[in-house]
A and B are shown apart, each in its own frame.
Chain A
Amino acid sequence: MKTRSLDVRGLEAPEPLERILGALESLPGDGRLEVIHWREPLLLYPILEEGGWRHKTEYNEQDRTYLISIWKDGQ
């Protein structure tokens, strides 16, 4: 499985969402996207769920960032 990283910290809303959606469109079927974000992207989750993506979010207390992993079902 190929993993791609995307750092969207410091971007003006809604650029983080724009970049994440762009990255997902070009992600291979067995790929995995790992997004580093400085806030929890609440709007992204329902979009992912309706689009058949799975996701998991971890919060890093030390640098106060969220790591959101996104992949397609069945992997």
Chain B
Amino acid sequence: MNLGALSLENAPGFWTPVRFFLTAPVFGMLAAGLIFVDGGQLLQSRWLPGSLAVAHAFTLGYIAMAMLGALFQMLPVLMGAVFPQAARAAMIVHLLMTLGTLCLVFAFLVQRPLLFAAAVVLLAPVLILFGAGVLVAIFRTGKVSTTARAVQLAALGLIVTVMLGGYMALGHAFGTAPINNVLTNYHAAWGVIGWILILAVGVSEQVIPMFLTTPPYPGLFNKRLAYLLMLLLVAGSLLPLRGLELAAVVLAGCLMLAYAVVTLQLLGKRRRKRFDITNAYWQVGMLCLVPGAGTNVYSYFGGAMGGADLALLSGLLLLVGFAVSIINGMLYKIVPFLVWLNLRMPAVMGKLKPGTRYYTPNIHEVINVRPMQVQLMFHVAGLLLLVAAVFFQGLTVYAAATAVLVSNLLLLLNLAHAVRLYRKYSSRAIAVR
């Protein structure tokens, strides 16, 4: 196995995923800023231009950005799959993702056809190629684990999501396809279930027992979950039968509930009982998945709750509550690990002169616990206030936006602290070589 991405000479292994991780909270801050400036109108309906701008700042700018970075890192580590030209590909993908997402967010805000067209050109080819690249890279490994299979399904989910989104964005650009509720619902379902949830299911199978010392997921539960979710998604999308679609929505809701309950149970059985920030974030994520899935089913059956847009509330819980929380938690494991590993490797591999003193931090001290806990508090406060802001406008909206902004700023500062540590000591190691 040749893992070029882990070559130490100029440590592309560090920057390849890290540039994505540092960008995610910046888009989180952009989303918070848009909510603040808008003053809460956009939390009243998911069809408003501002709501769509914020939704895409989160889904593309934060969630997909971090997930792509993590995949560049994970494919070789967890699955033995080599992404061709990983370091260079990561740089290009990151640049196009950043520019494309900015174009799309502002296209929604100012409704300029040219911006929609630019967003499609910048985003669609790179995301579809990335999805295809993941499919091929895993296929080439020969042996495909449960996680790898789920990642493949998620890559397929990403491709379908982008194709549907790209088609609609081109419709905006050239006036050929006005906003279409049915297509938008499919786009959202493929994005949330086909891409985000299936990837989370696959990744949690490996990372929860590995990073949080829990027992493994029981029996076939998680092994079949990704397939079942994909089956429901395909059945609900391809067969235009109202009854089948209803059944798919209800069953998918039940599977999400089961996944959340089983994961929460596992997290309660950690062998190490000391506080772990990633564990706390997974718990927050799973606690949001339950009402997120429930609200989705309830709203599908026409349920109402004080005049609030329940589909928007569900999206908020699933995207910011579930996806952003678990990603935030994983960043606090992955980034310190990368710092530690890349500072440690020159010595292990005999690249330092004998007797040279070198520094590798304790992995648990790369980012201090207290600042991470403070950030978690702002994240949870932001979530609760956002949910409240869907029902009560006014000051709640400003408080929610401020908490989300501060949470993302603190995340950025915490990650930047780790990166500074890496830069400081990696340059010293090079100097003594």
Report which A residues bind B (CB closer than 8 A).
Answer: 10-14, 17-18, 21, 24-25, 39, 42-43, 45-47, 50-52
The reply to whether A46 and B3 contact each other, CB–CB distance below 8 Å, is: yes
Q: Which residues of A contact B321 (CB under 8 A)?
A: none
A24 to B348, CA, bound (A): 8
Cross-interface CB contact of B348 among A14, A43, A47, cutoff 8 Å: A47
CB contacts between A and B, total, < 8 Å: 55
Return A49 CB to nearest CB of chain B, in Å. Answer: 9
Q: Look across to chain B and name the residue whose beta carbon is closest to the beta carbon of A16.
A: B210
| B-side contacts of A10, CB under 8 Å | 213, 271
Say yes or no: A50-B211 contact (C-beta < 8 A), given A14-B337, A21-B348: no
Bound together, the chains give a CA A23 to CA B214 distance in angstroms of: 26
Minimum CB–CB distance for A20 against chain B, Å: 9
Given the complex of chains A and B, what is the CA–CA distance between A10 and B8 in angstroms?
29
User: What secondary structure prevails in chain B residues at the interface with A?
Assistant: helix
Additional pairs, 14, CB under 8 Å, beyond known A21-B348, A50-B7:
A11-B213, A13-B333, A14-B337, A14-B363, A25-B347, A25-B348, A42-B76, A42-B77, A43-B76, A45-B1, A46-B2, A46-B6, A47-B6, A50-B8
Specify which chain B residues have a CB less than 8 angstroms from the CB of A46 in the assembled complex: 1-3, 6, 76
Nearest residue, chain A, Cβ from B4: A46
Chain B neighbourhood of A47, CB < 8 A = 6, 345, 348-349
Verify A14–B76 contact, CB threshold 8 A: no
| Complex CA distance for A28 and B8, rounded to whole angstroms | 24
Question: Is A18's CB under 8 angstroms from B77's CB?
Answer: no
**CA gap between A57 and B177 in the complex, in Å:** 57
Q: Nearest chain B CB to A8's CB is how many angstroms away?
A: 12
Q: CB of B78 within 8 A of chain A?
A: yes
B262 at the interface (CB under 8 A from A): no
Q: Known contacts A39-B210, A50-B7; decide if A14 and B1 are in contact (CB<8 Å).
A: no
Q: Are B349 and A42 in contact (CB under 8 A)?
A: no
- B344 CB within 8 Å of chain A: yes
Any A CB within 8 A of the CB of B212: yes
Closest-by-CB residue of B relative to A17 is B341
**A10 to B210 alpha-carbon distance, docked (Å):** 9
> Distance (Å) between the CB of B354 and the closest chain A CB?
12
Q: Check A51 against B78 for contact (C-beta < 8 Å).
A: no
Task: Point out the residues of chain A lying under 8 angstroms from B8, CB to CB.
Answer: 50
Distance in angstroms between the alpha carbons of A22 and B317 in the assembled complex: 43
Q: Assess whether B77 is in contact with A21, with CB atoms less than 8 Å apart.
A: no
For this complex, 21 residue pairs linking A to B, each with C-beta atoms less than 8 Å apart, are A10-B271, A12-B272, A13-B210, A13-B333, A17-B341, A18-B363, A21-B344, A24-B348, A25-B347, A25-B348, A42-B78, A42-B79, A42-B80, A43-B341, A45-B1, A46-B2, A46-B3, A46-B6, A47-B6, A50-B6, A50-B8
Closest A residue by C-beta to B216: A38
**B side interface size, CB within 8 A:** 28
Of A14, A18, A42, A52, which is within 8 A of B350 by CB? A52
Kindly state the separation between the CA atoms of A72 and B295 in the bound complex, as whole angstroms: 59
* Interface residues as binary, B323-351 with A (CB distance below 8 Å gives 1, 0 otherwise): 00000000001000100110011011110
Question: Which of these, B1, B2, B211, contacts A12 with CB under 8 Å?
Answer: B211
* Complex Cα gap A42–B347 (Å): 20
Nearest CB of A to B344, in Å: 6
Tell me the minimal C-beta distance from B389 to chain A in angstroms. 37
A24 partner residues in chain B, CB cutoff 8 A: 348
Q: How far is the CB of B179 from chain A (nearest CB, A)?
A: 45
Residue of A11, A13, A25, A46 with most chain B CB atoms under a 10 A cut-off: A46
Q: Compute how far the CA of A10 lies from the CA of B212 in the bound complex, rounded to whole angstroms.
A: 10
CB distance from B10 to the nearest CB of A (A): 14
Q: How far is the CA of A14 from the CA of B271 in the complex (A)?
A: 15
| Shortest Cβ distance from A39 into B: residue | B210
Distance from B258 Cβ to chain A, minimum over Cβ atoms (Å): 25
Q: Given the complex, which residues of A lie within 8 Å of B78, measured CB to CB?
A: 42
Shortest CB-to-CB span from A55 to chain B, Å, is 11
For the complex of A and B, list the 3 residue pairs with the smallest distance between their C-beta atoms, beginning with the closest.
A51-B349, A46-B3, A13-B210
Whether B340 and A14, one on each chain, are in contact in the complex, defined by CB atoms closer than 8 angstroms, is yes
Chain A residue nearest to B276 (CB atoms) is A12
Task: Specify which chain B residues have a CB less than 8 angstroms from the CB of A51 in the assembled complex.
Answer: 348-350
